[in-house]
Amino acid sequence: MTETMKDINTAVDRSKKEPEKYMDKSIKLPASTASSVKKKKSISNYKGCKVLLISESKRVLSSQMEGKVESIYFVDVLKEKETEASFKKMAGIGDRNTEFEKLATQIASKCYGLPISIVATGRALQNQSRSVWEDVHRQLERGKLTGAYEFSTRLSYDLLENEELKFAFLLCARMGPDALVMDLVRYSIDNSNIRSLIKPKERSHPEKVIKINLCGKLQTVFLASLVSHLTLLETIEVSKCDGLKEIVEVERQSNTNDIEVNFPELRSLVLHSLSDKFIGFYPISSTEEEPRSLFNEKVVVSKLQRLELSSIQVDEIWSDQPSQMSCFRNLIHLDVNGCGNLKYLISFSMAKSLINLQSLFISECQKMTTIFPKGKETLANTKDNIFSKLKNIQLRNMKNLREIWNSELPSNSCHKLNSLIIEECDKLVNVIPCYMEGIFQSLCNLRVTNCKSMKAVFELDARKGKDGDVTNLQDVYLETLPKLEQVLKWNKDQIGILKLNSLQKMRVHDCESLESIFPVSIATCLDNLEYLVIRDCFGLREIVAKGDGSYTDKNNPDPSFEFPKLTTIKLSKLPRLACFYPGDYELSCPVLNDLSIELCDRLEPFRKELTNAQKMPTFFSGKVINKLKSMHIESRHAQSSSSYIGEGNH
């Protein structure tokens, strides 16, 4: 222990003969330092600085102050009663605590009235048993602990709970006064003797959250033998640790290869920006021939709800061992970003086990071509649904993703999907292929933007759809799809298999190859449409296409489009748009109150009806115009619209 105390007391200048303190108020630096500082131009930066030196020895201060004793001030120690009262306060005992009264007085007297010793000693004895107090008193009486500083510092060290905390104490003493807590974590985790900073066995309030950031030399977070003590750990976050190889280290020298690492309460795992050195969570085997799997069959996280992976270079997330299937059943949120080595996300068998997954976010995984691997397994004979509780999917900046779904998926998979967002997926040619029509039953919000190869949003197949299937789709947003030719793609003999009765908002921007928005069979059933906005679609010719041949009412050959809830229509920069529908039709918008038409050169929205021989397509009737509250049109359309406007309207 004597050698240990040398580390603690190296910087402490004591004088047992002079238990006094001296301070100086001089603005000068020590002589040894001043001579070198004068040579530097930066000496002006120190003007106005005051350096306060404290020592028990007047001789020490005199040597540092070039003999200017007038700048040295004597500060007396505390009086006996002040010492005793301060010590009792630090030790947490009151005046009426007769059990420790006498011992407190005796021990306080050994602090020599020095505040630093009073505070350190009192706090060290706080909440200690009477036997500890008596043992300290006996050592003092025998003269085993002498000197106020040595006594208080040694006592603070000796009364620490275990060897691991004593090691941390010494580490702090060596780090200096300007060290940060993060420095302590960095140094201590790299040292195998300091495991308890993560979770000591004796700690009455074990850690629930561990966050590690910017620890470049860190190679592992836990030893496998320590994991059994992490019974209450709920969150692990590790980011920007360039030297990290694994989360749990395999202690091969201890023959622990077969140890199962179980985190029974872990709810959230976040791994961000780990280098190529990272080979897995608990890599029990890591040969060059085998793909690097983040999780293997020895990792148990049965309560994990949130998994976020960003910029980690594993080859696969799961090794797909049968024992893994039950370990991720409670996963709710999966976010995978910038994992450049992943070629697919998840196997069928693993996806089937994620029965509680609700959110799936994937972005910037440049090698990923499909969500499910092809040829690795089949679900042809299974009736189990995949992602039965999945509500949200977001795919962003997936440059090589060619397929979201798989034709072998059970027909009722993803039947609770509510929101689908796809951005910058340049190889996708469609969003909902014909074999995934069941997804329409729940999907409410669809957003597709910046996909260079997208040709159709929906591809329908009459052989799989039921006549007149009603969907729940409510909000569609399409933007910057340069090759989009059809929103809904189907053949003439497939008409009527789908209805968008719930659609409320339709927004289409910057789709230059698109010639129409709806087929006529869909447009006649948009009872809930409220908002229609179309902009920058330079190839658009009509809102509703005539070519599907679906309207066959012999008694009334002209289709009727009724939009009882449509309040807003905005058309902008549509140079080829000539009409709403290329033929005779009736249009009813009883609650339309906001109309905006700009830079639609071929459109004549308010043309008066002529004779049958001269009849040309019109957009809006006088009934529609008279109920508007807001109308934004170009000046050339103002004259033709004025004849429709009745009294009291504007």
DSSP string, 204-237: SS--SEEEEES-TT--EEEEGGGGGG-TT--EEE
Residue 379 · residue 410 · CB < 8 Å: yes
Residue 573 · residue 538 · CB < 8 Å: yes
pLDDT at 641: 54
- Pick the closest to residue 376 from 320, 299, 294, 298 (CA basis): 320
Strands 456-459 and 486-489: parallel
How far apart, in whole angstroms, are the C-alpha atoms of residue 130 and residue 98?
Answer: 12
pLDDT at 399: 94
Sign of the dihedral through C-alpha 176, 181, 186, 191: positive
Residue with tokens 């919000």: 445
Residue 96 · residue 130 · CB < 8 Å: no
b vs e for 141-170, b when ≥16 Cβ sit within 10 Å of the residue's Cβ?
eeeebebbbbbbbbbbbbbeeeebbbbbbe
- Pick the closest to residue 370 from 406, 321, 341 (CA basis): 406
pLDDT at 213: 85
pLDDT at 150: 62
How far apart, in whole angstroms, are the C-alpha atoms of residue 312 and residue 277?
Answer: 10
Sign of the dihedral through C-alpha 430, 436, 441, 444: negative
How far apart, in whole angstroms, are the C-alpha atoms of residue 496 and residue 550?
Answer: 8
For the full predicted model, state whether its pTM sits above 0.85: no
Mean pLDDT, the chain cut into blocks of 10 residues (650 residues total): 38 37 39 44 58 74 72 79 84 74 80 78 82 80 58 72 69 61 54 41 59 83 83 92 89 63 95 94 76 90 96 91 81 96 91 93 96 67 76 96 85 86 96 75 93 91 54 93 90 61 95 93 91 96 76 61 93 92 85 90 68 53 70 69 49
CA distances from 615 to 21, 345, 602 (A): 108, 57, 16
pLDDT at 376: 57
**DSSP calls for 110-133:** TTTT-HHHHHHHHHHHTT--HHHH
pLDDT at 74: 78
For residue 635, give the 3-state DSSP assignment: helix
pLDDT at 368: 95
Adjacent-strand bridge partners of 75? 21
The answer for 449, left when phi > 0, alpha when psi is -120 to 50, beta otherwise, is: beta
CA-angle at 226, arms to 220 and 232, nearest 5°:
105
